[in-house]
Amino acid sequence: MSPLEELGDLRLGSRPSRRSAARGLDDLRAIPWVFAWTQTRVNLPGWYGLGTGLASVDDPGTLHAAYNEWPLFASLLDNAEMSLAKTDRTIAEHYLALGGRPELTEQVLAEYDRTRDLVLKVTGHTRMLENRRVLSRAVDLRNPYVDALSHLQLRALKALRGESEELSEDDQHHLERLLLLSVNGVAAGLQNTG
């Protein structure tokens, strides 16, 4: 569902996306894996599981007090809030659909909704990045451009994965270039690589 395998072919870093040719979780490298999730606009490593953890606390007032009194907890929630703000649920759903596992898509999106709602509740904010106006404005200004690049990336991924045998060598090269350019553009537009 992410462009992880394609990123390994694009020679973006000094190391491959996996430690060996095996396809197990133990062979993944952390940086390309997180970068790939960033590209999907899901940003899963920045928030996944946090909502379930927050929901397990019986007294929401305790969490709000902890946010106001514990710098480490406040930093954790502020970082998760930034990841959530840079997540685009609609685009993320398209990437997640590439995996062909609707139950997994539903699980990830349900956790996104839970985490988003609880982060807002615990921080006391009415919207993401409410207390960071400059960052909020920058994200809002960049999103339309990043959205367009994400849609181009999705188109390139679908074409490269689905019709590889039918593509001419020239078309394959153009799609790979489109993918590389969209990866660079999305990373620049989101102002982080994971």
* pLDDT tens string 67-99: 999 999 999 999 999 999 999 999 999 999 998
Does the model's pTM come out above 0.85?
no
Give me the mean pLDDT over the 31-54 stretch: 89
Give me the mean pLDDT over the 156-160 stretch: 89
Q: What is the DSSP letter of 45?
A: G
Looking at the 3D structure of the chain, how many domains does it have? 1
pLDDT of residue 62: 95
CA-to-CA distance for 102 and 81, rounded, in angstroms?
A: 26
Q: What is the DSSP letter of 25?
A: G
pLDDT of residue 8: 65
pLDDT of residue 30: 61
Compare 14 and 138 and report the one with higher pLDDT.
Answer: 138
Domain of 181 in residue numbering reads as 4-190
Q: How confident is the model at residue 38 (pLDDT cuts 50, 70, 90)?
A: confident
CA-to-CA distance for 149 and 22, rounded, in angstroms?
A: 31
Give me the mean pLDDT over the 23-46 stretch: 75
pLDDT of residue 162: 82
Q: How confident is the model at residue 166 (pLDDT cuts 50, 70, 90)?
A: confident
